Structures are given as structure tokens and as C-alpha cells.
A = this chain, B = another copy of it.
């Protein structure tokens, strides 16, 4: 057993924050939480790991990002969407036909994710099977867990980034066959988005998801031109989400990135089918898509998580993704003359941590029976505060200000993988 002593902070439910000053986590030998203690026991048989004055918090979960866009982070931000896709995105993704390049980039990405405290991801790869397998290897090696999808796209992908329907099917099966060797990273079916997949491919993916019990991720209602395009492609579907529903891809735990323009009917479909929104505020602002109605979704009971969406998003660090989501929500708050409350720091952290962990089966922050996913944060290098701060205040300061140098240790799936 292990006993981790430190200042515990977690968000069990939206808007709630638990702070346990000088508390402790008792873990079994596999790193599963046996107990969450308001005070460490006087004596116990466990190996003691004393984090001193540091904050011990559940790690971050990035529910939407494009791994092969990592090399173009922070570039082309002035371009309109289509030009940005053609100048940067498709060419960049096409480079991942080169497995040596993929190895170097994905090793660096995995390292940046884990040292930044992101221990779970739901991630897009490119259409390349081999590079996708390399990505999964590198995530495992670094200690990042979660789901990765080989992208399916048999139309509208640009000159150097396309696969035929047959290739897409064959490569998907080849990829799935080789995913069994991973322990902490699992496959997820990933039709890029409706305009990039033929009906035949969508239908095939829907059947595959059903047969093999696989989860699905894609994009939904990111911008208005895209929605109009989808309507042209599927005149039989009144709304975008129905192009996924038609083929069995709209189901429990399906992850849909963006949902900026999801209206009441689409939001009701999200809620009814337990489809999860990956809200990507930084990306949505950077490429001028809009700001999703997160407060409304939360009020209605829709399951909202956060995604960095690199490289539409320019921030990989999830604490920055959280504060960008808060800022975007303040814009909506102002637009509504204060009627639509902004996200508080506690709520933002819930969305960027607990709500994502829940997708992987671990709800409620630090709770018994789940493997530990946590970061240990030392805020000692931040500016001298004006007085002794409460744990809540230290937490807020870290969410706004910390960079990865403040993250002294990271636990992922019960294992200490950093520090």
C-alpha cells in the first residue's frame, strides 16, 4: 500500500470543490484508491509519499485533440478556416505517412501532455494506420491513457490526404487487429466528420461499432458553413446529428467536438442518447467559429467535457484550456446581459477533469475503487501572495497561472509516471 499525504483538492460534482488540508490518499499496490482521508492515520503499514505543502488534484482530461496537428500549433491563426485547412492542416497530417517523423513528433507530444498533467485523452490521429499505432505506443510509453482513433476520410480530404472507401475499411481492420497489444490506450472509431465520409463508409463504421462494442468520436456543428454543407450532402436529415444517427454512430458515450451551433432540438438529442460534448473554446474563438452555449447545455443536463482541439486551439495545457473556456463563457455572459452565468473556476476545472474522467468510468474526483489519476502541484514559485491563502485560492491561482514546471509529479492509472 501507499499513502500520499498532501493538500487534496477535487471537484465531485459541477460547481462543487472539496479541499482537504493535509489530507491523504491510501492506495493499494496497483494504485487503486482505497480511501480518501481528511487526515493521515497516526501510523499505517503503507509506504508514505509526503507531498508537503503541495496541492494534490485529479489530473486533466483532454477530450478532443488532433495529434498530427501538434507540429502546426500556433500557426496560421489569421487564416479563414478553409485556407487554414488547405495551407496547414492537410499537408501537416499528410506528413504522418512518414513513420520516423511520426515517432519523433508523437514522442514529444506524449511527453508534453503527461508533464502538463493530462493523463487521459480522447484523440484523433491521422488516416495513417502505422502512425496511429506509433502514437498509441508513445502515449503508453509516456503514461498517457485513453482512446485514439485512426481517422476515416474517404472524400473531401485534399490531394495528399485521402483513402478510398476500401482502403479505409481495410486499414481500420488492420489497425484494430493490432490494438490488442496496448494496455492503457484503446481504439475509438473516428469518422472525421460527415463531409469527409461517404454514406457507405459511415454505414460500415456504424455496423463495426455495434459488432465490436467500440466507441465513436467525431465533429458536430462547429460552424455555419459546415452545417449548410452537411445539409446539402444529407437532404434527408433535418439536422447534422442525424447524419450520424442514421448510421448507428450517435449512441451512448459518442464524443462530439464543438457543438457551437447545436440548437434546442440537437441538444435534446445529445441528452437523450448520452452523447458527450467536447467543448473547444480556444479553437472556436481562434478560427472564428463562435462560442458554444455551454451554460445552457449544463442547465439542460447535457454531458460537457473540454478539449484543447490543437491545432485550432493554440493551448495544449489543460489548465489554460479551462481558463479559455471561462473567458469564452464570460463573453456569452456579457452578450446575454448577465443572464447566462459564466463558468466559475470550480466549474471549469470540473469540466476539464471530473467530467472527462467520468467518460472513462471514474466519476466524482478522488473516490474509492478507481486507479489514481492525479497531479502534484507546487505553487511555491508563484508570486508571494498578500497573505496566507486558502486552499481554494491557491487552487484558483494554479489553474490561471501554472505552467508545467509547477507540476512536480503525475499519477496515471495508479502509476507514478512523472516526478
Contacts and interface: CB of A to CB of B under 8 A. Distances in A.
Contacts of A178: none
A19 B115 CA distance: 34
B73 A397 contact: yes
A333 B288 contact: yes
The bracket for how many chain A residues form the interface is: 35 or more
A385 B105 CA distance: 9
Contacts of A393: 75
Nearest to A323: B314
A240 interface: no
Interface in A247-288: 282, 285-286, 288
B327 A285 contact: yes
Contacts of A198: none
A142 to B, nearest CB: 15
The copy count of this chain in the complex is 2
A104 interface: yes
Contacts of A88: 386
A92 B71 CA distance: 42
A337 to B, nearest CB: 10
A419 to B, nearest CB: 19
A288 B75 contact: no
Given A286-B330, A327-B285, A331-B331, A74 B314 contact: no
B288 A383 contact: no
Given A288-B330, A314-B323, A342-B288, A74 B400 contact: yes
A384 B105 contact: yes
A135 to B, nearest CB: 14
Interface string A324-339: 0011001101110010
A181 to B, nearest CB: 26
A384 B331 contact: no
A401 B313 CA distance: 11
Nearest to A324: B327
B77 A396 contact: yes
A386 B92 contact: yes
A327 B290 contact: no
A345 interface: yes
B314 A400 contact: yes
Interface of A: 70-78, 88, 91-92, 95, 104-105, 108-109, 112, 282, 285-286, 288, 290-291, 314, 323, 326-327, 330-331, 333-335, 338, 342, 344-345, 382-387, 389, 393, 396-397, 399-401, 403
Interchain residue pairs A-B with the least CB separation, the first 3: A74-B400, A71-B386, A74-B401
27 contacts: A71-B385, A73-B400, A74-B396, A74-B400, A74-B401, A75-B389, A75-B393, A75-B396, A75-B397, A77-B326, A77-B345, A77-B400, A78-B342, A78-B345, A78-B396, A88-B386, A92-B386, A105-B383, A105-B384, A108-B383, A108-B384, A282-B327, A285-B327, A288-B333, A288-B334, A288-B342, A331-B331
